[in-house]
Amino acid sequence: MMCADEEQFAHRFLSHQLDHGTDLQTKDEIPVTVGFQKNVCIILPHFYRPICKVQIRRADWLLASGELASVRNQAILEKYNQGYTLEQLAELFQISYRRIHQIVRQSRR
């Protein structure tokens, strides 16, 4: 069972845990039968979920808009390759010129 609030996150990063779980002592596979439920995170918090989210977000930051940074960055690079200037990209994506420059520079490595 997982909180419905985490469904998008789970499908993106925890898809291997959506069908079944593994008992850590017996190594038996246990089918997931309940799925996503509303307000479970209030009633039954899992201590490892926040840790997992922090580790994953370090690799692929979740923006305030709910969009993954890698998706946004790919869109920025596509526009840059189409001929948009760094200034135009900063305005279009509403982020700083400096951050746009970093994204483009990192893609060239």
Q: What is the pLDDT of residues 80-92, one digit of tens each?
A: 999 999 999 999 9
Could you give the C-alpha distances from 7 to 1, 13, 14, 98, in angstroms and in order?
11, 10, 10, 33
- Global pTM? 0.45
Range of the domain at 52: 2-59
How many distinct structural domains can be found in the chain? 2
Given a cut of 70, is residue 9 above it in pLDDT? yes
- Please name which of 50, 79, 47 lies closest in space to residue 62, comparing C-alpha atoms: 50
The larger pLDDT score, comparing residue 43 to residue 72, is at 72
Claim to verify: residue 50 and residue 81 sit in the same structural domain: no
Claim to verify: residue 91 and residue 46 sit in the same structural domain: no
Claim to verify: residue 17 and residue 37 sit in the same structural domain: yes
Q: How many whole angstroms from its chain centre is CA 16?
A: 15
CA atoms of 58 and 26, how far apart (whole Å): 32
Please list, in sequence order, all residues whose beta carbon lies within 8 angstroms of the beta carbon of residue 9, skipping any fewer than 6 positions away. 53, 62
Q: How many whole angstroms from its chain centre is CA 102?
A: 20
pLDDT in tens, 49-90: 565 665 555 555 667 676 777 888 889 999 999 999 999 999
Range of lowest pLDDT (10-14, 68-72, 103-107): 10-14
CA atoms of 8 and 18, how far apart (whole Å): 12
The larger pLDDT score, comparing residue 44 to residue 8, is at 8
Claim to verify: residue 35 and residue 13 sit in the same structural domain: yes
Q: Compute the mean pLDDT over every residue in the chain, rounded to the nearest whole number.
A: 79
Claim to verify: residue 78 and residue 54 sit in the same structural domain: no
Claim to verify: residue 9 and residue 51 sit in the same structural domain: yes
12 domain-assigned: yes
